[in-house]
Amino acid sequence: MAVASIGEQPLVVIKDLYKHFPLKQAILDVIARKPALSVRAVDGVSLVIKQGETLGLVGESGCGKSTLAKAILRLEEPDKGTVLFNGKDITHISRQEFRGHRRHMQMVFQDPYSSLNPRLSVREMLIEAMTVHKVCAPKDAEARVAELMAMVGMNIAAADRFPGEFSGGQRQRLGIARALAVDPLFIIADEPVSALDVSIQAQVINLLQDLQENLHLTLLFVSHDLRVIRHITHRVAVMYLGKVVELAPTQELFERPLHPYTKVLAAAAPVLDPRVRHREYAIEGEPPSPIHIPTGCRFHPRCVRARDICKASEPELQEVAPGRTVACHFWGQ
Amino acid sequence: MPLEVVKSGQNLLEVEDLKTYFFMKDATVKAVDGVSFSLAAGETFGLVGESGSGKSQTLRSILRLIAPPGRIISGSVRYKGQDLLKVPLGEMRKYRGSEIGMIFQEPMTALNPVIRIREQIFESLENKGLTTDQKNARAVELLRLVGVPSPERRIEEYAHQFSGGMRQRAMIAITLAAEPKILLADEPTTALDVTIQDQILKLIVSLKERLGMSVIMVTHDLGIVAQMCDRVAVMYAGRIVEITDTLTLFGAPRHPYTLGLMGSLPHGARGSRLQPITGQPPNLANLPPGCPFAPRCRFAESICTETYPEMVQVGPGHFSRCHFIAKLDGQSGIIDLGNVAEGRR
């Protein structure tokens, strides 16, 4: 896709979004008035997704990337913050009103088996999606089903079969077809190829790329796989413990990562060249729990660059070059 | 002896014509259908393939960890002059753990949830004539060796108190306690995050060197193959289709399936289009005659759907099962053998 076709116009604007999950407290702790603990899954995220782009969201398990994706679509109600879609606030409107916008925003899940209704045939599933959102007249539904199946590279004969009869890659195609059924502007794909074998994964990646170009979709692509992210996205946001720590155009991010955590992620991915082997660990230890997030910069206990200021004050995301933001006190060093 | 078993006096393990079938109610699934390879002392050998290719069942067959309806039909697994498939099943205990250890993808199902990590390490230390104090000291030392912080305290804990990465470390410690000569690793990092995977893989490399082990690594991830393995076998539909050293695999693969895998891999920058293998993997219960890859192969001709190709040698230690090796001349993989891609990650 030519870069020129990506509008600078924002489609989705996320402002200071929070989603915490309170933990159950023992009765004695409640009586003793101990402070309630919570998992701070999304802890103040601001992000702009531009019309027509594929934005990658990358991070390790527990960093909050999936929760952020769900909070945008209100599959998890955000605690605080705003999401603007096409300039309209969609977080502070009634559920009923939100449903009107929902057809423009669809989601593709990692495990297509658990996200497809096993009792509906493919045809029924697609027609149901179209009916709920009233996207086409009943008499046109049949033609639309055929069109959708062709779009995702499936034979129309498969429309009368049930999800259980398909392989993982085919199910993911069906998950994509269902998302497309309502003619959305924006699709969130949460680890859409992580469960697939590499040969099938490549087919689905190509399909997503083609659809995005042909239908001018805007895509938020959530993944832990840097190779896939590098291949499919225009820009990448890196998350660590509930916050975005770096945002940059994909090529620049991989060629010159600025945040120490981004460097760690890049160094940890196994290089596809047996001549390039390193002995030292990319990083020691494991991420702290999102219940007890470190003070100051949340990465400081594991950071080789950390100094006193990193323990005391949390760095804000700052623009350090056109289109590049990073949350680090010492990004330049 | 099949071609692909490298002849050398140094072989620690030789697997020959191994067949492991699963007898289901209405079909026989030939999960492993004539697999041969050898493992040299000190070597890390990779078995790579997609789900259902038979790589894990091959690994399990070495220790005869195949439960009904599965059964090892034929073949041999020679270790120290002994065919493990001919050893009475009761005597396999002598080999499992102490000679050949195994680590699994999901440590939680491999660890015992109701006994402490300490007791599980102790089990591996049996028959070594150690006192309880010595066992304790050794167990702590092992946990420290695999990078479990504060091992004196954690040794008293149960598996559920460990994180995913720590469980994998504990399982490695338990396996290493028995000082095996060969470590069988079945997708040991697939369930882990990339930074933890990096730690576990590098841990295996350093332990292997320190303890002089050989490793067989089963994985679906070609990145792990590139980083870990000396030689590698690519499996498809229950058989090895290509076997060679790792560098040649990435630089000059000589089987259409391996080429297809390379084309499917996202590597490098955006823009380049992936060249996936078309179609779906075959149903093992109902394999067509001929080469099982033929329906997806861009080089296939009519003979491919009729006769199964024999293994042919295409270079030193390099073998491929394809009727049309000649067509693959000049095809390259994803690395340029004349040019090291500096720091490509």
How far away is chain A from the Cα of B249, in angstroms, using its nearest Cα?
10
Contact B6, B40 (CB under 8 A): yes
pLDDT digits (tens, 9 = 90+) for B191-208: 888 998 999 999 899 889
ipTM confidence: 0.89
* Mean pLDDT of all residues in B39-66: 94
Three-point CA angle B153, B155, B156, nearest 5°: 75
Distance CA A186, CA A160 (A): 28
pLDDT of A2 strictly over 60: no
pLDDT digits (tens, 9 = 90+) for A280-326: 899 988 888 888 999 999 999 999 999 999 999 999 999 999 999 99
More confident residue, B271 or A77: A77
pLDDT digits (tens, 9 = 90+) for A231-290: 999 999 999 999 999 999 999 999 999 999 999 999 999 999 999 998 889 998 888 888
The minimal CB distance from B276 to the residues A170, A206, A267 is found for A206
The pLDDT confidence band at residue B9, using thresholds 50, 70 and 90, is low
pLDDT of B345 strictly over 60: no
Distance CA A215, CA A317 (A): 32
Does A155 lie at the interface with B, CB-CB under 8 angstroms? no
Of B58, B55, B1, B13, give the one whose Cα is nearest residue B311: B1
Three-point CA angle A196, A199, A203, nearest 5°: 85
Per-residue pLDDT, B5: 74
pLDDT digits (tens, 9 = 90+) for B207-228: 899 889 999 999 999 999 999 9
- DSSP annotation string for B104-163: -S-HHHHS-TTS-HHHHHHHHHTTS---HHHHHHHHHHHHHHTT-SSHHHHTTS-GGGS-
Among A residues 228-267, those touching chain B with beta carbons less than 8 Å apart: 228, 230-234, 250-251, 254, 264-267
Q: Which residue of B has its CA nearest to A1?
A: B271
CB–CB contact A61 B193 (8 Å):
yes
- Residues of chain A with Cβ-Cβ distance to B263 below 8 Å are 202
Does A200 lie at the interface with B, CB-CB under 8 angstroms? yes
What percentage of chain A has pLDDT greater than the value 70?
A: 98
Q: Which residue of A has its CA nearest to B272?
A: A231
What is the amino acid identity at position A228?
A: V
pLDDT digits (tens, 9 = 90+) for A165-191: 888 889 999 999 999 999 999 999 999
> Using omega within 30 degrees of 0 as the cis cutoff, is the peptide bond preceding B69 cis?
yes
Contact B29, B237 (CB under 8 A): no
Per-residue pLDDT, A115: 83
pLDDT digits (tens, 9 = 90+) for A194-207: 888 888 899 999 99
Task: Read off the DSSP letter of residue B275.
Answer: -
Contact A39, A64 (CB under 8 A): no
* Mean pLDDT of all residues in B97-122: 90
Sign of CA dihedral A244, A245, A249, A251: negative
Per-chain mean pLDDT for chain A: 91
CB–CB contact A286 B334 (8 Å):
no
How far away is chain B from the Cα of A225, in angstroms, using its nearest Cα?
8
Per-residue pLDDT, B7: 63
Strands A235-240 and A54-58: parallel
State the pTM of this model.
0.90
Distance CA B180, CA A183 (A): 58
Per-residue pLDDT, A23: 87
The pLDDT confidence band at residue A1, using thresholds 50, 70 and 90, is very low
| Count of helices and strands (H, E) across chain B | 10, 12
pLDDT of A218 strictly over 80: yes
The pLDDT confidence band at residue B74, using thresholds 50, 70 and 90, is very high
How far away is chain B from the Cα of A167, in angstroms, using its nearest Cα?
8
CB–CB contact B265 A227 (8 Å):
yes
Q: Which two tokens stand for residue A207?
A: 């399909």
pLDDT of B27 strictly over 70: yes
pLDDT of A4 strictly over 50: no
Q: A199, A201, A252, A280: which to substitute to probe chain B, counting the most B Cβ within 10 Å?
A: A199
pLDDT digits (tens, 9 = 90+) for B156-200: 999 999 888 889 889 999 998 888 999 999 998 888 889 989 999
The pLDDT confidence band at residue A24, using thresholds 50, 70 and 90, is confident
Per-residue pLDDT, A330: 94
